Structure 1
Amino acid sequence: MRAVHITAFGEVPQVVDLPTPTAAAGGAVIDVELTGLCRSDFHAFAGHDDGVLLPYVPGHEFVGRISALGAGVTGWSVGQRVTAPFVCGCGNCDWCTAGESQICPNQTQPGFTYDGSWAEQVVVPAASHNLVVVPESLPGASVASLGCRFATAFRALRDRAQVRRGEIVAVFGCGGVGLSAVMLAQAMGARAIAVDVSPGALELARSIGAAGCVNPTGLSPEEVAAEVRAVASDLTREGVQAPGSQSALPGPHVTLEALGRSETLEAALRSLDPLGRHVQVGLFAEVPRTLIPRVVALELSILGSHGMAAADYPALLDLLLTGAVDPGVLVTRELGLDDVPDALAAMSRGTQPGVAVIRP
């Protein structure tokens, strides 16, 4: 099969022919229809993730069809259209049996701990536990980013932050997961403030329903927080503030950081209303500074969010089937495998607005 192959961190990869994968006991082989190009792929390529071993094939979010099943897999058949979370649980531990596979201590991750989906085929281990049926009516472009960005944003807002109708959610970093969070916040009855240095990303955020936008270019974290609180105050005067905020200049009830930078984390924490909830999704290349005195004084909550288990996908797919959200509108580019090496290397200079998908 053809695949993107990385043999050295930070060096432009090659598209090569690799052996076709086989379905080990309990696993499945998937013919890839579409796969995503995600900022997390760049972090691994740049050598920021300790668990990634060379050489490897990137790619951790995909939609495709089952082409082979290993021994012991039941309830699935060749030809079914499927996806899987980017965190594949072992299916046997206490966390997996409780429906929390995204924190499975024995987890595997395509594109990180084993060869991923930037290829014509990808393996899903513990297939009976990790596979998710994808309805034929859903366009591939709407499903390709569910495995990471959209599912991560969905669980971050619904389950971790427990966003309520009428609340204000500030999203720091409007790449794929950030834009997904903007769209989902609106679907949950909240109002989103988009924060990003890219005018194109902010324009896209507005087009999918952001109630306000802040460009932090040239601003300190304190100044960014002041801008965000000012937008939140304007939204409050419009009558959309949920009950409970007592601030003279209200801030967001929820912040979500999707970039992985110390300065945006600081700005998010500085902008939060007392008793606010911060959800950290972005991955840091280095240990960030955290405003613990402010967290203590305002009784802020800091919540991590790391993907979503396969068992939680039906609720997310229902949003797509009913038309409440359409991740496909975030897709701005479709690439072939031969386009990927240069596109991956270009991410060191920043990320283009919207989501890119790859058709092997």
Structure 2
Amino acid sequence: MRTAAVLNEYDAPLSVTEVESVTPGANGIVVETDACGICRSDWHAWKGHWPSVPTDDHILGHEPAGTVTAVGDDVENFAVGDDVGIPFNIACGHCSSCWSGDSHLCSDGLSLGFTGDLPGAFASEFAIPNADFNAVHLPDGMTAVEMAGLGCRFATAFHGLAHKADVHAGDWLAVHGCGGIGLSAVNVGAALGANVVAVDLNEDALDLAEQVGATATVTAGDTDVPKAVQDVTNGGANVSVDALGIAETCRNSIDSLAQQGQHVQVGMTTDDEAGEISLPVDEMVGSELEFVGVKGMPPSRYPELFNMIAGDKLTPADLVTNEVALDDVSDRLASMDDYGTLGMEVVTEF
């Protein structure tokens, strides 16, 4: 048996209970969970914003790190006792997206904790298929908490800014929303040499943004955010990130751009938007603005991230502000209703 926080009803406390143990498939591994991040994507699923997430004893949690406890017969690159991290996009390893290096967009892929076929890691152990393709070894010196802090948030921000957007040294980068993924984008942008403007309602979040690399901050609320960003950047940001996913931050991000700027969308929408946000299309055409969507990062590119962490260019550990127990997950998810979290929170007691 293993302990897990189980989802049986949207927007209701998870049930922390004993569930059946898992065994590895021929190409899979079982991992004892040492740490698992609590992400706003978990909140979206818990709230019922994504009805495809099941509620029949389902287990959320998609930012895990831990120790391999069982290995399938066909696994070549992992052994019992290995310390591993698991990117949340679990790929088949055989389709055209996987072969082209875009395994995070695998047409036959699964999302850890978000599909019934792949229960997540808010549990004392979990199983991963096709481990040779999907799991990553933790570098020497990296803790499970640090890897959980990378989770989907830091990895997505890194992929968006280092691979998808054209961020250059000296550019202005605006980040709208300084939750976990927004703060990650601040840290990544600063490491890439950009001047970063962090935008949020929460002064504590803005203080943390400054600690991890923000050049300037804008307190939202009654402020005309696009004008404030335009003033700070002397004409607009070269790249702007919506790290929240509500209509206001998406529109503010686009309106903050200079001509030929790039808007990067990493925040997912809530029930209010239901996946649809009105955009100033004519202005985007007239100013040659780009809209760039970002979803996770393929495991094959994690060494880039690890190397920058090892060189102290990136500091995800600085964003982990709270370690909690599995019994606390429901409370921590509920606190996200009113943005009542700061930085990244990680489960370390199972």
TM-score by length of 2: 0.95
Say yes or no: does 1:43 pair with 2:44: yes
Give yes or no for the alignment of 1:200 onto 2:204: yes
3-state DSSP class of the match of 1:150? Answer: helix
**SS state at 2:89 partner:** coil
- Counting only pairs closer than 5 Å after superposition, residues 208-357 of structure 1 correspond to structure 2 as 208-219=212-223, 223-233=224-234, 250-285=235-270, 286=274, 287-357=276-346
| Alpha-carbon distance, 1:31 to partner | 0.8
Instruction: Tell me the amino acid that sits aligned with residue 48 of structure 1.
Output: H
Question: 2:212, 2:315 within 8 Å by CA — same for their partners in 1?
Answer: no
1: CA distance, partners of 2:283 / 2:92 = 39
Cα distance in 2 for residues equivalent to 1:91 and 1:291: 39
Q: Distance in 2 between matches of 1:22 and 1:349?
A: 38
Q: Report Cα offsets for 1:73-95 as digits up to 9, x if no partner.
A: 11211111111211111111010
Aligned ranges for residues 109-148 of structure 1 at < 5 Å?
109-113=111-115, 114-148=118-152
| Whole-angstrom distance in 1 between the partners of 2:30 and 2:195 | 41
**8 Å Cα contact 2:113/2:121 also seen in 1:** yes
**3-state SS of the aligned residue for 1:313?**
helix
Give the Å deviation of 1:209. 1.6
Contact 1:4 1:337 in 2 (8 A): yes
CA positional deviation for 1:72: 1.5
- Partner Cα separation in structure 2 for residue 168 and residue 175 of structure 1: 20
Q: Which residue of 1 aligns with 2:62?
A: 60
Q: Which residue of 2 aligns with 1:243?
A: none
Q: Would the aligned equivalents of 2:113 and 2:120 in 1 still touch at CA under 8 Å?
A: yes
Percent identity (aligned)? 37
- The whole-number CA distance in structure 2 between the counterparts of 1:183 and 1:204 is 10
Unmatched 5+ stretches in structure 1: 234-249
CA contact (8 A) 2:64 2:148 kept: yes
Paired with 2:106 and 2:222, the residues of 1 have a C-alpha distance of 40
Once residues 53 and 121 of structure 1 are traced to their aligned partners in structure 2, the CA distance between those partners, rounded to angstroms, is 20
Structure with a larger share of its residues in strand: 2
Is the 1:171–1:192 contact (alpha carbons within 8 Å) kept by the matching residues of 2?
yes
Contact 2:149 2:320 in 1 (8 A): no
**Cα distance, 1:47 vs. partner?**
0.6
TM, length-normalised to structure 1: 0.93
Report deviation, 1:187: 0.7
Alpha-carbon deviations, 1:109-150, whole Å to 9, x = none? 111012111111111111110011102311332211223011
1:81–1:136 CA contact under 8 A, matched in 2: no
Structure 2: 5+ residue stretches without partners: none
Match of 1:104 in 2: 106
Q: Post-superposition shift, 1:283?
A: 0.4
**How many pairs align?**
341
Deviation at 1:343, TM superposition (A): 1.5
Match of 1:241 in 2: none
Superposed displacement of residue 261, structure 1: 0.6
Aligned partner of 1:268: which letter? S
Q: Is the 8 A contact 2:4 2:123 kept in 1?
A: yes
Contact map agreement 1:175 1:351 (CA 8 A) in 2: no
